[in-house]
Chain A
Amino acid sequence: GDSVTQMEGPVTLSEEAFLTINCTYTATGYPSLFWYVQYPGEGLQLLLKATKADDKGSNKGFEATYRKETTSFHLEKGSVQVSDSAVYFCALSDLSAGSARQLTFGSGTQLTVLP
């Protein structure tokens, strides 16, 4: 079945540091890939997405590139801010699996940015 593996946290960085959160996936078909963010006490919000190989999703300074050859979708940001402190979830939706509306989530990575 489909699965998503994220780097384990927590991750602690200083403000303006470079961020990478690794995400790899296993899927039988051609999935769409997503990053969601959860701020303290809130529900998840869609951060960015990519629907096919080599697509780059971007939003709020975050980027992730859909790499089919390495089955990866790593999240990056060049300069993090304190306000980026949150839990980040990688997820996939496999259109060929017959239930396109189901998302498979990774376990989440807690990011703390210190001033």
Chain B
Amino acid sequence: NAGVTQTPKFQVLKTGQSMTLQCAQDMNHEYMSWYRQDPGMGLRLIHYSVGAGITDQGEVPNGYNVSRSTTEDFPLRLLSAAPSQTSVYFCASSYRRLAGELFFGEGSRLTVL
């Protein structure tokens, strides 16, 4: 089972560049989300989706866009990268009826210079 797959695992960007972090899950989960992990701050929710065509903002959405055209995929877009977006990003998914029981990808480490 592939579970939740994130790509790329590592990325270095210059300020102002754009990029997309990819996330795919093969468990037919309705719920998908993106978190960022920063030292001493735990995980903070960026955006989430409860199903195809439905997205909503989390705690720290500024500077990020998402879309959910299929159940399987939930890409995260950085339109104009800033050094403050240097972080480790995690995609997660779950069944809607099992709130809180998330399956995480392995993470994507992003550095913005």
Contact surface of A with B, Cβ cutoff 8 Å: 4, 32, 34, 36, 41-46, 49, 89, 91-93, 95, 100-103, 105-108
Contact = CB atoms under 8 A, between A and B. Distances in A.
Given A43-B105, A45-B104, A91-B100, 16 more contacts: A32-B99, A34-B101, A42-B106, A43-B106, A89-B42, A95-B99, A100-B100, A101-B31, A101-B50, A101-B96, A101-B100, A102-B33, A102-B58, A103-B100, A105-B35, A105-B42
Given A101-B31, A101-B96, A102-B58, A46 B43 contact: no
A43 B41 CA distance: 16
A44 B102 contact: yes
Interface string B21-63: 0000000000101010000111111001010000000100000
B71 interface: no
A41 B102 CA distance: 18
A41 B101 CA distance: 20
Nearest to B100: A93
Contacts, number: 60
Interface residues of B, number: 25
25 contacts: A32-B99, A34-B100, A41-B106, A42-B107, A43-B4, A43-B90, A43-B92, A43-B106, A43-B107, A44-B90, A44-B102, A46-B101, A46-B102, A49-B101, A89-B43, A91-B100, A92-B100, A102-B33, A102-B45, A102-B58, A103-B43, A105-B35, A105-B44, A107-B41, A108-B42
Contact of B100 (A4, A32, A43, A108): A32
Nearest to A95: B99
Q: Interface residues of A: mostly helix, strand, loop or mixed? A: strand
Contact of B42 (A41, A100, A107): A107
A36 B100 CA distance: 10
Contacts of A103: 43, 45, 100, 102
